[in-house]
Copies of this chain bind each other. A is one copy, B any other.
């Protein structure tokens, strides 16, 4: 397939759809109409003042200049770009769900019940004993989890300073550990990107607060030695943190809790199909084993245990406190609940099966090498002596989005590909064609690519060299 993306071009000005500010601004004298003394106010405010029809056109046009899961395949490895069921939007739009977080528990029993229900769903799916919904994204979940681990160690009088992380892990793991005040111990991987058990054994010790791990790993391989790994960490007094980004591969087939993980986050915007919204909002609920439950953030929803039917939001005994100003990304959590309820046990297991089948089928159809396997829901193909980023740009012309490129680093010119379960065979073939044509194209063609997207190849270096981050900055030029 060939895809020409929509363009609305002003050739004279060398731009596509103008900025709203370029369509007309208005300056309002704030003090003119202000009920406040002048010294408490700004003088004026200058902003675009489009009419509603103009607003509608502006954003409709912008939207047409944007790729999305509803326009075609989006196989970003480790991102799990699934179809976002439309009905979950309707559920989340219920006006009765639009409540303020400071409402009394008694007055929001419906909201609390849904929270509780989702906590239970997630605990079951992850094999965890308790879940908090508060973290607003995966990385925030990581921080929550590591802070819980820290609180746990502190409570037990242990002053541990290190978090062990495999080299192939996601950047957030490292950044999280550092934010929580830990030193990062980077663990070399074995030839398959798996944890090198010997190296782990050597790295882990009495300073080890936790090992952060995702499973399957970032090239889609299951950590077969997970039981041994868990023992090593636990024996040293450390905790096991599970990065839930790849959970889609395991739904109904394996649970982090059963593998020995003590704390984990769920990326509901990956595994549970809540929309990614062009970069968020997501939600990163955190599950913990029984021993860690008392450290969960506040508030935490539980059933009322005094004989009355109902739910309450309480502060766990040794709560780490807050990781979000309120209760997290509520509108996202509703959608996750609806998605899980829609699939049920069988649907969840089937999602994993088809995600894995799709990845394997696609790998089979492409001409690139896939050095590591057997993989599950994603695979890291290598572009070999081609530049993976260039290959990706070329793929943009074929009605598909390219995979994650140049990550993880252990695979040369990696193209980390995760089609997810929602693609049918015909769109997998479209993907394969895009891979193969781009991979076979000449360097010149690749360098010129893409040629059918709204923008042609963008000069990223100059964007960083001379940052222009607002229309004000453009005006100043």
> A residues touching B (Cβ–Cβ < 8 Å)?
1-11, 23-24, 51-54, 56-57, 60-61, 64, 68-72, 83, 85-86, 399, 422-424, 426
Contacts and interface: CB of A to CB of B under 8 A. Distances in A.
Given A71-B60, A83-B52, A2 B7 contact: yes
Nearest to A59: B70
Nearest to A69: B53
Nearest to A421: B53
B3 A4 contact: no
Contact of A426 (B4, B23, B64, B85): B23
A86 B60 CA distance: 13
Nearest to A454: B4
Contact of A56 (B7, B53, B86, B399): B86
A21 to B, nearest CB: 13
A72 B57 contact: yes
Given A2-B9, A3-B7, A399-B8, A422 B71 contact: no
A52 B54 CA distance: 32
A68 B53 CA distance: 12
B2 A424 contact: no
Contacts of A24: 424, 426
Contacts of A23: 426
Given A23-B426, A83-B52, A422-B51, A6 B5 contact: yes
Copies in the complex: 2
Contacts of A9: 1-4
A117 to B, nearest CB: 24
Contacts of A54: 424
A53 to B, nearest CB: 4
Nearest to A9: B2
B11 A51 contact: no
Contacts of A4: 4, 6-7, 9
A52 B8 contact: no
A70 B83 contact: no
Contact of A2 (B11, B51, B69, B83): B11
B72 A422 contact: no
Nearest to A71: B60
B85 A57 contact: no
Given A4-B7, A4-B9, A8-B399, 16 more contacts: A1-B10, A2-B10, A2-B11, A3-B6, A4-B4, A4-B6, A5-B6, A24-B424, A51-B422, A52-B85, A53-B83, A53-B423, A56-B86, A57-B71, A60-B68, A60-B71
